[in-house]
Amino acid sequence: MRYSGLRVLIEGLTGHKGWRPLWRDPQPKPAYDYIIIGGGGHGLATAYYLARTFGKARIAVLEKGWLGSGNIGRNTTIIRSNYLLPGNEPFYEFSMKLWEGLEQEFNFNAMVSQRGILNLLHTDGQRDAYRRRGNAMLFAGADAELLDREGVRAMYPWLNFDNARFPIKGGLLQRRAGTARHDGVAWGYARGADLAGVDLIQNCEVTGFRIENGRIRGVETSRGYIGAGKVGVAVAGSTGRVMAMAGMRMPIESHVLQAFVSEGLKPTIPGVITFGAGHFYVSQSDKGGLVFGGDLDGYNSYAQRGNMAVIEDVAEGGMALMPMIGRARLLRAWGGIMDMSMDGSPIIDRTPVEGLYLNGGWCYGGFKATPASGYAFAHLLATGAPHDTARGYRLDRFERGYVIDEKGVGAQPNLH
């Protein structure tokens, strides 16, 4: 079924009897050419591009829970390509371009909304740093504008401009950035992959790898053994645990990241805003809730819930930036497990086991990367060669010294 305004009208007039489930519920087959572990955004996007763009068949996605139960359904939905380093910026700009045509391509409303992101600056030194970052973005074909204080005031007159500690002096604006509905992205890729013949197998946890003579042969799962020509791991916060089953220790730590949503309010924040003097970012959902978040909880964890200290820290950031947020009631808070790498940048690479590939280390910026990550991982799996924009995301870069440390904080995952 092709979705369109006409289809909605017809279904509305005929009692909504024609809608069908978005994907099948197949039984696992004995073997596949390609198995993708993890039915999050990256796993589903990988399967989609493998089938659609690279023409591959006999593909399965194995998900231990339900599709979209992980971070793809837990993030604060921000998409952007405002990076500095040459190892990152072309990749994220490639992702931005894929976002721009995504809904038409997979014929699903993922509510991609290019409402702009504004990174606020509070010192002269920060202005210099943002000017440099904006220039790097322009060189990579992205858009960037440096706003002065009055430029910011014209967009958001209610910000706390004269905060004694953190006065707002301007901001870096990327107008093409914005938000997308996270579940819609997972569902759109899942539907597109299913239509292309990919088996999406839920409630199927991978519990081990069968490796013979240094080559992958298949995976052990909670639903039995499944043979595979190639296996791609895209399990985000579980990367360390899953790769340990293949005998590998990852340059990754897992940390919990929380997010928050307020009660529904009248339209207040048209775009996405980030505080430049602390970690706080906020946007408003189409239902009216203020969606916001801040730092990681800082300690290693696999629990999908966080602690009160970070809630207080996030609330302080919000109050410093926009004191009116203190009047809004908090509706929900939740957490997800982030696969924090040693330099804050991802890994898309083959592994020492032939036929076993890794996609991980997304830290807390992996949602915006979903299209490019899926495309680049599918490229690697299908052709054996890295995608041009993902050449730097090597697994061995930490031992070779070619780190991509966007924040410049060194090998301390909780600070990235």
Ligand X SMILES: Cc1cc2nc3c(=O)[nH]c(=O)nc-3n(C[C@H](O)[C@H](O)[C@H](O)COP(=O)(O)OP(=O)(O)OC[C@H]3O[C@@H](n4cnc5c(N)ncnc54)[C@H](O)[C@@H]3O)c2cc1C
Chain residues binding ligand X by CB under 6 A are 37-43, 62-65, 69-72, 74-78, 205-206, 234-238, 242, 257-259, 293, 336, 362, 364-368
d(CA 416, CA 405): 8
Structural contact between residues 256 and 333, judged by C-beta atoms closer than 8 angstroms: no
Q: How far is the CB of 216 from ligand X (least distance, A)?
A: 15
Q: Nearer to ligand X by C-beta: 127 or 218?
A: 218
Q: Of 32, 354, 361, 17, nearest to 193 (Cα)? A: 32
DSSP state of 27: P
Closer by beta carbon to ligand X, 127 or else 395: 395
CB of 169 or CB of 251, closer to ligand X: 251
Residue whose CB is less far from ligand X, 127 or 219: 219
**Cβ closer to ligand X: 43 or 344?**
43
Q: How many CA atoms lie within 13 A of 122 on its CB side?
A: 16
Residue 300 tokens, joined: 């290693």
Give the residue from 184, 181, 256, 189 showing the smallest Cα distance to 38: 189
Nearer to ligand X by Cβ, of 261 and 277: the residue is 261
Residue among 291 and 395 whose Cβ is closer to ligand X: 291
CA angle 112, 88, 192 (to 5 degrees): 40
* CA-to-CA dists, residue 27 to 142, 336, 394, angstroms: 43, 29, 34
Residues near 74 by Cβ (< 8 Å), separated by ≥ 6? Answer: 182, 259, 304, 334, 335, 336
Residues 82, 17: Cα–Cα separation, whole Å:
44
Q: How far is the CB of 214 from ligand X (least distance, A)?
A: 22
Helix, strand or coil, per DSSP, at residue 206 = strand
Residue 237: CB minimum distance to ligand X, A: 6
- Minimal distance, residue 362 CB to ligand X, in Å: 4
End-to-end Cα distance, the chain: 43
Provide DSSP, 108-121.
-----B---EEEEE
Residue placing its CB nearer to ligand X in the complex, 60 or 169? 60
**In angstroms, what is the minimal distance from the CB of 295 to ligand X?**
11
Residue nearest ligand X, CB atom distance? 40
Shortest reach from residue 198's CB to ligand X, in Å: 15
**Distance of alpha carbon 176 from alpha carbon 234, whole angstroms:** 27
CB of 226 to ligand X, least distance (A): 11
- Closest approach, Cβ 14 to ligand X, in A, equals 35
